[in-house]
Structure 1
């Protein structure tokens, strides 16, 4: 808890709140300020570099030019405790009498996830993913990891913890492509995932526990949330890049006094009163993202505005974390996604036939792909403005620096057309690729920092959501520290926002506790049985 009793006593109507970054953490934080703290919407200001809000929860495009989603977020009930708390409070756009959560529940009851073909080999053979291919040493290593206190793991990597053979198991293919883990990532983060999603361990092969939004997360979550906030007069400033904060250190603690930003290449300053609040999203998974096209590959950007701001903050205040631990390893944190828009349904129908997966079922990974390519065909339509005769699916490759099996180029150097040719090879339809590609638009997206939150770290590398002795500053999102919760989830961002608001304003309402399925006897029994399948 912060030691800011002086500012907590200020009337909410007499304070302003500034959010640096317009992602889901800031949007959630603004909602909690209005809903639970009584701060007038007109006193809340969201500053975002881009002209659109939502951060990593994006979705854009048209049927003519092609749609784009950089990534898709999976949800899990009941483990997304804070997210459900938020989404139950905001009406959907389609039916204002029902919440976002109610619409989502109805969709998931109608389209239950159950992957028929989670893994497929180069001969288009559907692999049995129900057996995780464990040897006893793998089971013991997993058990030891689950039982080892986090403080003893330090910056150990996954590949340092497990034997080399572990990475050839079916389990690893499922784990890596479901959660986007790489062998060089932090074993601490893997341990947290094991605990948080222990109840999902037996059904990684079917993804039965996955919940989804009706449309992409921008249409299903961001748009209605932004509208709800605008109706309450929250201010959104797009095209506004925050470059620095003035933070004073005095006996009473640390206080933000000014926010410096650029808008239309013009520098500006916001003076911050001691009773005002500043919430900073310090780092972003989708910083520096670059889009390609059917005839152009995306570029690789090695800098990101949110990380640069964080670095400028810690120059004078090193106790606010170590951004370099996450931001300075682009070759280890990048991967590439692609979104395919189809004017004709032939390719989608072929995918359904060869994978036996109806839209909305699950994730298909091609185990022999040099890029470790996976595709997801969401329930259609996946965009609110998507015509019935247009189809959309999404995919990604975890190894964009590798050359393809069919296209002898690195994925990161490939155009959208070449990525489609590689996909057709793995689907066993290269002879029909020309006709499929003729009616398709594939837009690749390079994301240099997409798994930066998984990089090895030590305590203190991520600042606390509300640092000790902070009077009016909080950190939000994937690079703020929340004990026991897992990054790369919407829940982590929303929970950080709730913790920040409730702490700084001393809200009496409790933050929902993190579910503890890892201690339930029935769950542990199911896990033990699954490990010996």
Structure 2
């Protein structure tokens, strides 16, 4: 990340506007970052008045998976945080137009300025036996390198719906490279080889510093406070209507013309079902699926309980509208394999500084500087992040918050003889302290900590093996007024499980659906830069 990256981003936003056109009313289904971004692009780039945009959201507030809430007394919760880096051109294009909550700068400028001040440089990416490992070696054998090279060169179509594990020998999944890779991005061996390939190419420029997390960017606070709240405020000021507590359950169609149209939106609100008519000039933009659907919170003394009911209705809606319509994709590919897509995160709230002090002394990093700390010997393959404090707006100075997660939630712990999925927050903290080799102060830390587990059945559903057509096009062929956005539509070259993918889908939907003479910034392709390729290959071979 350097100053020229920010200059490139700001140049994107200063394009001449298209002439204002009467586009009708816009109904955006889902209140996550993709819908919020779509609303902003409609206003900024198409001159659509905010009062002609309605966002329909089943839950009580907007933000979707980019959430953050809580109090010092009851504990804070963030279900997760997506990685940012300097080549997220769509995200920074959007947020260069959005002021921070205090109005001092744009959100984009705040992010770049902040990451000039605190650059991620991990001195303890891996911790084994209570000891940190500086710049861990990747440990790749020649056979692993050859396979990585083949995957990078092989066309995605040839990979089909194969799994990563079908391309590597078992010993690859024991290397430091894989341990750091899978915990940074949340990949499992059974996930999509095609998506793994996309990640290899998309982040090739970050490979030389990957074992110290160089290039990873963070927001000042959690992403809800730093990104969602400013964007929501901007939309509110422009009159966008938010209908929370409104679950969309189906769409009605008019298929009498040359192109099919959405003619109605069926909603459930309270105990009643209603239908919103969609006029000739109106447009509908639907967020498909949800990686945080069915999330269940536990507590310090209570485990999270698996929630079979998706209260957002996101998966049920996609299954309903896709039945008999192959151009709408195949939701069951992503929704019906929760044993392969679930993991558990936890957020700890501390009023005693002991644990933060001990981790700082162990890692050599101050909070906010080190990024992800992974315990390779953990049966859960657990990792934690100590962000810069305060992590929440209004968080008291004597309160510290950190986040963590585990990938193998069905395995008994090393220090707690229960699967992670069955553990209370206190038991998760006990396991963590064991891996940190903290004994003398353990009781003091445990008595102070508020630790809230969060079980997410669909959190890596977008990584599940897929083939062409399983994810629909942003604007499906044959449809005049319908677009799909979020993590489960198809965007060539870019990678899911990122804010960038959601924002890119929104930008693509708005520009395509409205026929604007614009295009989203191209996906950065470092694999076409000889210096990037040489740097990545050298790092993989020599680390």
**TM-score class normalised by the smaller sequence:** over 0.9
Contact 1:421 1:430 in 2 (8 A): no
Q: Which one of 344, 347, 354 corresponds to residue 339 of structure 1?
A: 347
Displacement of 1:46 in angstroms is 0.4
Contact 1:256 1:274 in 2 (8 A): no
- Note if 1:102 corresponds to 2:133: no
SS of 1:162 mapped into structure 2: coil
Q: What is residue 13 of structure 2 aligned with on the other side?
A: none
SS of 1:209 mapped into structure 2: coil
SS of 1:204 mapped into structure 2: helix
Q: Which one of 137, 140, 159 corresponds to residue 134 of structure 1?
A: 140
Q: Structure 1 residues 113, 296: CA separation in 2 closer, same or farther (over 3 Å shift)?
A: same
Q: Structure 1 residues 450, 456: CA separation in 2 closer, same or farther (over 3 Å shift)?
A: same
Q: What is residue 389 of structure 2 aligned with on the other side?
A: 380
Contact 1:13 1:38 in 2 (8 A): no
Contact 1:193 1:486 in 2 (8 A): yes
Q: What is residue 93 of structure 1 aligned with on the other side?
A: 101
Displacement of 1:320 in angstroms is 0.6
Contact 1:24 1:57 in 2 (8 A): yes
Q: Which one of 506, 514, 534 corresponds to residue 505 of structure 1?
A: 514
Displacement of 1:431 in angstroms is 4.1
Q: What is residue 317 of structure 1 aligned with on the other side?
A: 325
Q: Which one of 409, 412, 415 corresponds to residue 406 of structure 1?
A: 415
- Note if 1:450 corresponds to 2:459: yes
Contact 1:175 1:181 in 2 (8 A): yes
Displacement of 1:127 in angstroms is 2.8
Displacement of 1:355 in angstroms is 2.4
Q: What is residue 4 of structure 2 aligned with on the other side?
A: none
Normalising by structure 1, we get a TM-score of 0.96
Q: Which is further off, 168-177 or 433-442?
A: 433-442
Q: What is residue 357 of structure 2 aligned with on the other side?
A: 349
Displacement of 1:11 in angstroms is 6.9
Q: What is residue 215 of structure 2 aligned with on the other side?
A: 209
Q: What is residue 295 of structure 2 aligned with on the other side?
A: 289
Contact 2:351 2:448 in 1 (8 A): yes
Query: Across the two proteins, how many residue pairs are aligned to each other?
Result: 522
Contact 2:132 2:362 in 1 (8 A): no
1:141-166 Cα distance to aligned partner (Å, 9 max, x none): 00000000011110110000111111
Q: What is residue 113 of structure 1 aligned with on the other side?
A: 120
Q: What is residue 363 of structure 1 aligned with on the other side?
A: 372
1:166-245 alignment runs, 5 A limit: 166-245=172-251
1:281-303 Cα distance to aligned partner (Å, 9 max, x none): 11011111010001111111245
Q: Distance in 2 between matches of 1:155 and 1:384?
A: 43
Contact 1:129 1:170 in 2 (8 A): no
SS of 1:497 mapped into structure 2: helix
Contact 2:131 2:362 in 1 (8 A): no
- Note if 1:435 corresponds to 2:441: no
Q: Which is further off, 160-169 or 345-354?
A: 345-354
Q: Distance in 2 between matches of 1:10 and 1:101?
A: 27
1:82-103 Cα distance to aligned partner (Å, 9 max, x none): 0010010000002x14100111
Contact 2:33 2:228 in 1 (8 A): yes
SS of 1:236 mapped into structure 2: strand
Q: Distance in 2 between matches of 1:11 and 1:228?
A: 20
1:93-152 Cα distance to aligned partner (Å, 9 max, x none): 02x14100111112111111000000111x212235442111110000000000000111
Q: What is residue 246 of structure 1 aligned with on the other side?
A: 252
Q: Distance in 2 between matches of 1:316 and 1:235?
A: 32
Q: What is residue 4 of structure 1 aligned with on the other side?
A: none
Contact 2:33 2:63 in 1 (8 A): yes
Contact 1:10 1:275 in 2 (8 A): no
Q: Which one of 418, 421, 427 corresponds to residue 418 of structure 1?
A: 427
Q: What is residue 10 of structure 2 aligned with on the other side?
A: none
Q: Distance in 1 between matches of 2:290 and 2:134?
A: 36
Deviation beyond 6 Å, 4+ runs, structure 1 = none
Q: What is residue 530 of structure 2 aligned with on the other side?
A: 521
Q: Distance in 2 between matches of 1:425 and 1:11?
A: 62
Q: Distance in 2 between matches of 1:439 and 1:13?
A: 58
Contact 1:54 1:222 in 2 (8 A): yes
Q: Structure 1 residues 11, 36: CA separation in 2 closer, same or farther (over 3 Å shift)?
A: closer
Contact 1:401 1:411 in 2 (8 A): yes
Q: Distance in 1 between matches of 2:428 and 2:256?
A: 56
Q: Distance in 2 between matches of 1:227 and 1:35?
A: 15
Contact 1:302 1:330 in 2 (8 A): no
- Note if 1:30 corresponds to 2:39: yes
Q: What is residue 82 of structure 2 aligned with on the other side?
A: 73
